[in-house]
Amino acid sequence: MSYKCSRCKRDVELDEYGGVRCPYCGHRVLLKERSRDIKEVNVN
């Protein structure tokens, strides 16, 4: 899973042991990046 630290804006890879924390600055708020897939939406 790729996230982005909301403080230092660096890309962060999370594994199941490290917990939710940026390894570079220790900030605990991470943002999930939008997938690069083409998303199909139905209009209704």
Nearest distance from C-beta of residue 44 to other proteins, angstroms: 7
Does position 42 interact with other proteins (CB under 8 A)? The reply is yes
Three-state DSSP class for residue 5: strand
Does position 34 interact with other proteins (CB under 8 A)? The reply is yes
- For residue 22, give the nearest of 5, 1, 3 by alpha carbon: 5
Nearest distance from C-beta of residue 31 to other proteins, angstroms: 10
Whether 5 and 22 have beta carbons less than 8 Å apart is answered as yes
Does position 35 interact with other proteins (CB under 8 A)? The reply is no
* Token pair for 43: 């209009």
Which spans of this chain sit near other proteins (rule: CB under 8 A)? 34, 38-44
